C-alpha cells in the first residue's frame, strides 16, 4: 500500500470513530476543514507512527506543521529512509 | 502483668490446637510444636530488648522468626525480598538496629552490626519463652524508587481488623496468599492464619503458578488473598480449575468489576471480597457484595474506622493505622487530626464511591488529568480482555495521548484482534471523556507486575 493510501485510510478510520463527517479529501483541503480537532490529529499521528515507524513531526525540529491534506501526506512521503 | 495484658503472636498459638501448620514448597512446620522450638538456635534471649533487622531469604524462616521474636525484642524491621541492599545502611541507622537475624551470616561479618543471629531449619527444641513487651513492628513501604519509608506498627494495630471480625465460621481456615508475608498485604494473611487457629501456606517465587495451585489444592487451602494483578494472572493461566477455596480476597490494587466477575465465574461456590488496606492506613474495610467500589455510607465512623474524603482522596483514622514513620528525617504520617491521607482518589457515582486511581499516578493528556486505572477498568469490561495497562505517550500535537497495552483471554483467535480493538474503542468512547479514550491499543502477551504484586507503572 502506498504511503498516501495508508494516510488516507487512517484519516477515514479515525473520522468514523470520532463521528466526523469528512469532506472530499483533496490535496488542497486545509486540515482545519477536515473537521479533525487536535486530539484526532494526535491519534492519527500516533497510529501512523505505529504503522509506518515514523513520526515526521517529532524527528525534525524545524518541520512546520502542515496546513493542507497534501502537506500532511507529503510529510510522510518525504521522510528520509 | 501490667494493667493491660500484652499479647504477642505466641499467645495465639494454643498447645491444645493440633494439626496447625505453616508450610512452603519445601517444608512443613507444626504451629503447635513451634512454642517449644526455636528457629534461632536457642539464642532468643540474646535478642531480648534489641532492635532487630529481619533479613531472611525465605518466608517460612521469616514467619517462624516473627513468632519467636514478637513480644521479646523491642523492634523488628521486616525486609521484603526485593529490598535493594544499597538501602540497608540507611534503614539500619534510621531504625536504630542493633541486631540482625539472617540465614546468610557470612554477609554480615564485619558490617558493624554487633549481634548476628542465624535463623535455620530444622527447628530445635527449647523451653517456651514468655511475652515480655509489646514489640514494635517496622514495615517498609513499596512503590518508591528511593529508600523506602519505615512504617511503625504494633501487633494490636496490625490485628485490629482481624480481631474486630471475630472468629471465622466453620472449620479452621487454611490461609494462603500470593503476597510475600513481609509486606503489609501478606502479613495480614499470616496474622489471620495465626489468630484464627488455622494454617498458612506460603508462596514461593521460584515456583510456577501451575505448581503453586497444585500445592494450594493439596494443602486444602480454604481462604486465599492476592492483588487483582495476581488474580488476573491466575485466571489467565487456566490453572484455577478444580481449585475451590471458600473465600477469595483481593487487595492492594483497585478491584474492578471485571476481575470480581471473573473470579466469581471461576469460583462459583466461593465468596469473593475485596479489602482496602495500606501499610500506613492499615485495614480500612472489606467489601463483600460482589461490586467494585464501596457504599457511600462507609464514610463517617464505622466499626471504629473513620473515613472522609478531602480533595478527592480517601482519609482514614483508626486504631489500625500505623503510628509513625520512623527515621532521622521522617515526616508526619497523619495530619493534625490523626487522619492518614491514602493518596487514593475516589469518585462518588450514585450511592457508591469508586476508586479512580492514585494521586501520584496521574498522567497528563493535553493539560487534562487522567487516571490510567479508570481507563483500564473500562477496557477490562470487554469479555475477551484479561488485563490491561493504560499509559501516556508523547504526542507532537497534544503533548501526550493515552495508549493501552491489552492482554486478551487465552485462546482468543488472533484474527479477531481488529474487531476486538474496535469493540474496546467503542466501549471506551461510550464511557469515557474523549481525551481518555486510547489513541492506540496494542495487544501484548504479558504485562510486568512488581514484586509487591501490582501492575508495573513505569511511565516512560
The percentage of residues in chain B with a pLDDT greater than 70, rounded to a whole number, is 98
Q: With 80 as the cut, is the pLDDT of residue B438 above it?
A: yes
Give me the total of CB pairs closer than 8 Å, taking one residue from chain A and one from chain B: 39
Q: Which of A12, A46, A53 to mutate to test the interface with B (most CBs of B within 10 A)?
A: A46
Inter-chain CB proximity B440 and A45 less than 8 Å: no
Residue B416: other Cβ atoms inside 10 A: 12
Residue B289 to residue B273: CA distance in whole angstroms: 7
Inter-chain CB proximity B366 and A42 less than 8 Å: yes
Which is more confidently placed, B373 or B457?
Answer: B373
Beta bridge partners of B344: B358
Which among A17, A43, A57 is the nearest to B396, CB-wise?
A57
Backbone angles phi, psi at B305, to 5 degrees: -110, 120
pLDDT for residue B1 = 44
Angle at CA B37, nearest 5°, toward B104 and B19? Answer: 115
A21 and chain B: CB distance < 8 Å anywhere?
no
Beta bridge partners of B75: B51, B136
Can you list the domains of chain B with their CATH numbers?
A: 3-349 (3.40.50.12780), 362-443 (3.30.300.30)
The percentage of residues in chain B with a pLDDT greater than 90, rounded to a whole number, is 80
pLDDT confidence tier of residue B419, bands split at 50, 70 and 90: very high
Which among B366, B401, B435 is the nearest to A46, CB-wise?
B401
pLDDT for residue B111 = 84
Inter-chain CB proximity A55 and B440 less than 8 Å: no
Inter-chain CB proximity A38 and B434 less than 8 Å: no
Residue B347 to residue B276: CA distance in whole angstroms: 15
Q: What is the largest CA-CA distance in chain A?
A: 34
Which range, A59-73, B50-64, B141-155, B388-402, is most confident? B50-64
pLDDT confidence tier of residue B51, bands split at 50, 70 and 90: very high
Residue B62 to residue B40: CA distance in whole angstroms: 11
HSE at residue B368, side-chain half, CA atoms within 13 A, is 13
Task: Name the closest residue on chain B to residue A40, using Cα atoms.
Answer: B439
pLDDT confidence tier of residue B167, bands split at 50, 70 and 90: confident
Q: With 60 as the cut, is the pLDDT of residue A81 above it?
A: no
Q: With 80 as the cut, is the pLDDT of residue B3 above it?
A: no
Residue B438: other Cβ atoms inside 10 A: 27
Q: Which of A10, A15, A43, A47 to mutate to test the interface with B (most CBs of B within 10 A)?
A: A43
Q: With 90 as the cut, is the pLDDT of residue B365 above it?
A: no
Q: With 80 as the cut, is the pLDDT of residue B350 above it?
A: yes
Q: What is the mean pLDDT of residues B69-77?
A: 98
Which among A17, A18, A46 is the nearest to B393, CB-wise?
A46
User: Could you tell me if B455 and B449 are in contact, meaning their C-beta atoms sit under 8 angstroms apart?
Assistant: yes
pLDDT for residue A43 = 93
* Residues 6 or more apart whose Cβ sits within 8 Å of residue B310: B341
ipTM, two decimals = 0.85
B442 contact residues in A (CB cutoff 8 A): 50
3-state SS, B242-268, equals CCCCCEEEECCCCCCHHHHHHHHHHCC
Inter-chain CB proximity B429 and A50 less than 8 Å: no
Inter-chain CB proximity A47 and B440 less than 8 Å: yes
Task: Name the closest residue on chain B to residue A13, using Cα atoms.
Answer: B422
* Residues 6 or more apart whose Cβ sits within 8 Å of residue B316: B281, B282, B284, B305, B306, B307, B339, B340, B342
The closest of B387, B103, B82, B445 to B228, measured between CA atoms, is B387
Bond prior to B33 in cis (omega within 30° of 0)? no
B429 and chain A: CB distance < 8 Å anywhere?
yes
Which is more confidently placed, B111 or B291?
Answer: B291
Transcribe A15-48 into DSSP letters.
Answer: HHHTT-------TTSBGGGGT--HHHHHHHHHHH
The three-class DSSP label of residue B237 is helix
Residues 242-301 on B with a CB inside 8 Å of A are none
Q: What is the mean pLDDT of residues B186-202?
A: 96
Residue B340 to residue B332: CA distance in whole angstroms: 10
Residues 22-81 on A with a CB inside 8 Å of B are 38-39, 41-43, 45-47, 50, 55, 57-58
Distances, alpha carbon A55 to alpha carbons A42, B367, B459, in Å = 11, 22, 20
Q: What is the mean pLDDT of residues B169-187?
A: 94
Burial tier of B57 (Cβ tally within 10 Å: 0-12, 13-18, 19+): exposed
Residue B121 to residue B266: CA distance in whole angstroms: 37
Q: What is the mean pLDDT of residues B114-125?
A: 95
Q: With 90 as the cut, is the pLDDT of residue B364 above it?
A: no
pLDDT for residue B142 = 77
H/E stretch holding B295 reads: strand B294-295
Residue B42 to residue B61: CA distance in whole angstroms: 14
Query: What is chain B's mean pLDDT, rounded?
Result: 92
Grid coordinates representing B344? 487514593
pLDDT for residue A61 = 59
pLDDT for residue B282 = 93
Eight-class DSSP state of B281: T
Amino acid at each position: 500500500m502506498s504511503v498516501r493510501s495508508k494516510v488516507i485510510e487512517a484519516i477515514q478510520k479515525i473520522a468514523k470513530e470520532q463521528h466526523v463527517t469528512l469532506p472530499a479529501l483533496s490535496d488542497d483541503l486545509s486540515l482545519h476543514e477536515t473537521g479533525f480537532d487536535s486530539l484526532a490529529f494526535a491519534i492519527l499521528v500516533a497510529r501512523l507512527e505505529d504503522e509506518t515507524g515514523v513520526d515526521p513531526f517529532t524527528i525534525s525540529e524545524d518541520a512546520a506543521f502542515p496546513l493542507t491534506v497534501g502537506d500532511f501526506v507529503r510529510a510522510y512521503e518525504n521522510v528520509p529512509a | 502483668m501490667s494493667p493491660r495484658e500484652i499479647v504477642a503472636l505466641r499467645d495465639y498459638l494454643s498447645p491444645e490446637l493440633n494439626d496447625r501448620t505453616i508450610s512452603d514448597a519445601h517444608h512443613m512446620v507444626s504451629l503447635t510444636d513451634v512454642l517449644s522450638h526455636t528457629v534461632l538456635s536457642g539464642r532468643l534471649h540474646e535478642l531480648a530488648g534489641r532492635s532487630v533487622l529481619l533479613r531472611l531469604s525465605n518466608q517460612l524462616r521469616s514467619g517462624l522468626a516473627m513468632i519467636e521474636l514478637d513480644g521479646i525484642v523491642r523492634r523488628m524491621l521486616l525486609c521484603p525480598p526485593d529490598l535493594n541492599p544499597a538501602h540497608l545502611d540507611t534503614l539500619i541507622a534510621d531504625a536504630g538496629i542493633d541486631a540482625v537475624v539472617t540465614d546468610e551470616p557470612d554477609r554480615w561479618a564485619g558490617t558493624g552490626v554487633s549481634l548476628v543471629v542465624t535463623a535455620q531449619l530444622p527447628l530445635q527444641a527449647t523451653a517456651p519463652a514468655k511475652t515480655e513487651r509489646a514489640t514494635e513492628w517496622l514495615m517498609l513501604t513499596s512503590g518508591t524508587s528511593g529508600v523506602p519509608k519505615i512504617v511503625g506498627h504494633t501487633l494490636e494495630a496490625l490485628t485490629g481488623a482481624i480481631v474486630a471480625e471475630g472468629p471465622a465460621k466453620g472449620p479452621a481456615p487454611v490461609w494462603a496468599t500470593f503476597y510475600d508475608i513481609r509486606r503489609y498485604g501478606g502479613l495480614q494473611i499470616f496474622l489471620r492464619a495465626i489468630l484464627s487457629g488455622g494454617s498458612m501456606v506460603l508462596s514461593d517465587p521460584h515456583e510456577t503458578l501451575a505448581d503453586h495451585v497444585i500445592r494450594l489444592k493439596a494443602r486444602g487451602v480454604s481462604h486465599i488473598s492476592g492483588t487483582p494483578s495476581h488474580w488476573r494472572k491466575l485466571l489467565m493461566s487456566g490453572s484455577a480449575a478444580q481449585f475451590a477455596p471458600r473465600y477469595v480476597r483481593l487487595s492492594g490494587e483497585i478491584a474492578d468489576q471485571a476481575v470480581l466477575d471473573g473470579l466469581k465465574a471461576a469460583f462459583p461456590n466461593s465468596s469473593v471480597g475485596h479489602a482496602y488496606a495500606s501499610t500506613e492506613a492499615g485495614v480500612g474495610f472489606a467489601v463483600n457484595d460482589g461490586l467494585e467500589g464501596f457504599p457511600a455510607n462507609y464514610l463517617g465512623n464505622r466499626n471504629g474506622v473513620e473515613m472522609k474524603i478531602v480533595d478527592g482522596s480517601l482519609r482514614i483514622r483508626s486504631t489500625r493505622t500505623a503510628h509513625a514513620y520512623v527515621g532521622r528525617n521522617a515526616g508526619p504520617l497523619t495530619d493534625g487530626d490523626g487522619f492518614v491521607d491514602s493518596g487514593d482518589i475516589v469518585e462518588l457515582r450514585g450511592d457508591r464511591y469508586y476508586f479512580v486511581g492514585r494521586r501520584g499516578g496521574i498522567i497528563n493528556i493535553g493539560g487534562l488529568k487522567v487516571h490510567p486505572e479508570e481507563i483500564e477498568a473500562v477496557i477490562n469490561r470487554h469479555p475477551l480482555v484479561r488485563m490491561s495497562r493504560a499509559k501516556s505517550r508523547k504526542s507532537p500535537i497534544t503533548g501526550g495521548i493515552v495508549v493501552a497495552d491489552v492482554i486478551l483471554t487465552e485462546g482468543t483467535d488472533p484474527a479477531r484482534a481488529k474487531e476486538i480493538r474496535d469493540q474496546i474503542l467503542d466501549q471506551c468512547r461510550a464511557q469515557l471523556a474523549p481525551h481518555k479514550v486510547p489513541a492506540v491499543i496494542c495487544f501484548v502477551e504479558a504485562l510486568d507486575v512488581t514484586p509487591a504484586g501490582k501492575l508495573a507503572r513505569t511511565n516512560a
